[in-house]
A and B are shown apart, each in its own frame.
Chain A
Amino acid sequence: MRIFILLILFVASILFLSFDTENDLFNYPTSWQKPYYDFTKNPLSKEKIELGRRLFYDPILSKDSTISCQSCHSQYSAFTHIDHSLSHGINDSIGLRNSPALMNLAWNKSFMWDGAINHLDMQALAPISNPIEMGENITNVVYKLQNSKIYPKLFYNAFNDSIITGEHTLKAISQFMLTLISSNSKYDSVMREQSDFTQQESNGYKIFKANCSTCHTEPLFTNYEFENNGLKVDPSHNDYGRMRITSKSYDSLKFKVPTLRNIEFSYPYMHDGRFKRLSDVINHYTNGIEESETLSKKLKTKINLTSNEKVDLISFLLTLTDKEFLFNPKFGYIKK
């Protein structure tokens, strides 16, 4: 009987401990909504996150071992590809769109600019398989991982199984991406009443709330909807966005509203990276909106801003920079 009680105590303590570590692995401000990602189907563990992090930085995922996830999603640029309006792949191929910044992904319902991907776990499959990105396929990736020196052991440590599967590979990559939480910008510290905006930032915040926040909703700075924000169609791409996925004319020219967190470092902007500077973006909203049937209702009334107001707005946007996130060694390359 004593053994029985000890056993129960042991199991209970393990449960307690694992609960506790999960909290350590995934932290977000209490004022935020609950994440959308279902963690019960892919419970976080230190080993799985580390495995995912290794995979994220490993070019083994690409056909000729030249491109890793970080090639287009590097930490110092909030996990996007700066300087390139369109992202690059193997053999110097150029993609159709600008790679999105990666952060706070547990709150996303769909992925990609057009929402083509319905689940974070399946996201990595798209760049792995795209002939102009990594040009590989998941079956061959699993084969290469299984035959590598390090991975069977790492998969065993993470999933208790040294037979590598597509499911485990994708779940591990998800785990690392889920930990990429940015919640410690100056804006966040002002919200926690631990610091104050300057006068200029404070003016900018008012302008932001009056003109931008219905789509870029606080605190995650996106409403996760698809909107047509009045960009002219680039005739060399003819990219109609969400319509490609739904085949519905009312989705023509709609793209996912991106978060504005870390926007200072995630240039160039828009789905095709057409704007290099934040001032270009703001000038687009004040003077560049192209009327069309699917134009967002929120943009039908013209936004008027003086040049001082524009500067104030930018100074607010810069308070969304989270240095702790951008330079956190936990998210960086694993030194072998």
Chain B
Amino acid sequence: MINKYIKLCICILIFFSKLHSQDIISKINFDSSLNKIKLELNKYILLNKNDSISIETIKFYISNIKLAIDDSIIFQEPNSYHLIDFENISTKSISLNYHKNIIFNKIKFNLGIDSATNVSGALGGDLDPTKGMYWTWQNGYINFKFEGKSNICQNKNNEFQYHLGGYLYPNNSIQEITLNIKNNKDLNININLDNLLPNLNLSDKNHIMSPSLESVKVSKIIANSFEIK
């Protein structure tokens, strides 16, 4: 009798391993560029004759990753929450596990954390509040942290600090991003700072630290600077 169960188990194992081999693991790599060159953190980069900037933090949540052909979704990553921190190279790539026969021409994802997750209490993994992406005086995830220094910033330390988030109307800052893909292997996503920086008002709106309409506005500007490379 027991023998029979062992045989059954082996069959199931073989079946699943066969199924598994049909999956391919693809990587989505995130990076950023400034002056059309790959960004290095904590290094002053000239923007023009007079101004320079040093980016110290780019840290953000990517969630609900989907692959699509035109408008029909053909793959949706389960439990899809990823914290990308440019300071920590291992977080800059997401492994996506999907069936190898899938063909797609679009990738969709959210920049930030949805409102249901924001009210779900203590969560683990990338959503653990020890990751430094959670507001404490008023609850909610910080979707995007963008920090650095520039002589453009008219404040004491010439700093800018954008902590963008907010999950309640009218301050919901989460952004859905859709990018067209040329071929299925190209999953290098770039945050184009040459598009982003001219749209930020670094000289006086250089600190956003709570859910606000300003946070929504800057979140949109950032979402628009995501591109496939």
Question: In the complex, are the beta carbons of B128 and A166 less than 8 A apart?
Answer: yes
CA distance A3 to B124 in the complex (A): 36
A171 & B122 in contact (Cβ 8 Å cutoff): yes
Q: Which of A118, A128, A138, A167 contacts B119 (CB 8 A)?
A: A118
Contact B120 A125 (CB under 8 A): no
Q: Report the separation of the CA atoms of residues A3 and B6 in the bound assembly, to the nearest whole angstrom.
A: 14
CB <8 Å contact, A166 and B118: no
Residue of B nearest to A2 (CB): B1
Q: Given A3-B2, A41-B121: A130 and B130 within 8 A (CB)?
A: no
| A130: B residues at CB distance < 8 A | 136-137
Q: Do B120 and A119 have beta carbons less than 8 Å apart? A: yes
What is the interface size of chain B, counting residues whose CB is below 8 A from a CB of the partner? 23
Interface size on A, residues (CB 8 A): 31
**A13 close to B (CB within 8 Å):** no
Asked if A116 CB lies within 8 Å of chain B CBs, one says yes
In angstroms, Cα B117 to Cα A118, docked, is 11
Residues 21-55 of chain A, each 1 if its beta carbon lies under 8 Å from chain B, else 0? 00000000000000000100110000000000000
Are A119 and B119 within 8 A (Cβ)? yes
Contact assessment for A121 and B137 in the assembled complex, using a CB-CB cutoff below 8 Å:
no
- For A112-140 the 0/1 string (1 means CB < 8 A from B) is 00001111111001101110000001110
> Which residues in window 122-170 of B have CB below 8 A to A?
122-124, 127-132, 134, 136-140, 168
Residues in B neighbouring A246, C-beta threshold 8 A:
168
Interface residues of B in 173-216 (CB under 8 A from A): 212
B118 contacts which chain A residues (CB < 8 A)?
118
Complex alpha-carbon distance, A128 and B127, angstroms: 18
Contact of A125 among B1, B127, B134, B168 (CB under 8 A): B134
Q: Inside 8 A of B128's CB, which chain A residues have their CB?
A: 165-167
Give the docked Cα–Cα distance between A22 and B119 (Å). Answer: 24
Contact partner, B122, options A1, A116, A166, A247, Cβ 8 Å: A166
Q: A3–B2 Cα gap in the complex (Å)?
A: 9
- Interface contact A139-B122, CB-CB below 8 Å: no
Q: Does A9 contact B (CB under 8 A)?
A: no
Alpha-carbon distance between A252 and B221 when the two chains are bound, in angstroms? 32
Q: Are B2 and A116 in contact (CB under 8 A)?
A: no
A139 touches B132 (CB 8 A): yes
Q: Given known contacts A138-B130, A167-B128, is B137 in contact with A174 (CB within 8 Å)?
A: no
Distance in angstroms between the alpha carbons of A170 and B124 in the assembled complex: 11
A139 adjacent to B134 (CB under 8 Å): no
Is A317 close to B, CB under 8 A? no
How far is A38 from B140 in the complex, measured between Cα atoms in Å?
18
- Identify B136's interface contact among A1, A126, A168, A245, CB under 8 A: A126
Closest chain A residue to B2 by CB distance? A3
Q: With contacts A41-B120, A119-B120, A122-B122 known, is A170 near B139, CB below 8 A?
A: no
List residues of chain B with CB within 8 A of the CB of A128.
136
- How many angstroms between the C-alpha atoms of A41 and B212 in the bound complex? 30
* Cβ–Cβ < 8 Å partners of B140 in chain A: 118
Q: Does A105 contact B (CB under 8 A)?
A: no
Contact with B along A307-324 (1 / 0, CB 8 A): 000000000000000000
CA gap between A246 and B169 in the complex, in Å: 9
A142 within 8 Å of B (CB atoms): yes
> Do the beta carbons of B136 and A129 come within 8 Å of each other?
yes
Please provide the chain B residues from 46 to 97 with a CB less than 8 Å away from any CB of chain A in the complex.
Answer: none
Compute how far the CA of A41 lies from the CA of B124 in the bound complex, rounded to whole angstroms.
12
Bound CA–CA A106/B120 (angstroms)? 14
Smallest CB separation, A9 vs chain B (Å): 17
Q: Which residue of B lies closest to A42 (CB)?
A: B121
Knowing A165-B128, A166-B128, the reply to whether A116 touches B137 (Cβ < 8 A) is yes
Q: For A118, A119, A128, which residue has the most chain B Cβ atoms within 10 angstroms?
A: A118
Cβ-defined contact, A1 with B1, below 8 A: yes
Q: Once the chains are docked, how many angstroms separate the CA of A42 from the CA of B127?
A: 16
Q: Which residues of B contact A139 (CB under 8 A)?
A: 130-132
21 A-B residue pairs with Cβ-Cβ distance under 8 Å, sorted by A, are A38-B121, A41-B121, A42-B122, A116-B137, A116-B138, A117-B138, A118-B119, A120-B121, A121-B122, A122-B121, A122-B122, A122-B139, A125-B136, A126-B136, A126-B137, A142-B130, A166-B130, A166-B131, A167-B122, A167-B129, A170-B121
List 19 additional contacts besides A41-B120, A165-B128; criterion CB under 8 Å. A38-B121, A116-B137, A119-B120, A119-B121, A122-B121, A122-B134, A122-B136, A125-B129, A125-B136, A125-B139, A126-B137, A129-B136, A130-B136, A139-B130, A165-B124, A170-B129, A171-B122, A174-B122, A247-B212
Instruction: Please give me the 5 A-B residue pairs with the lowest Cβ-Cβ distance, nearest first.
Output: A121-B121, A166-B130, A121-B122, A129-B136, A170-B122
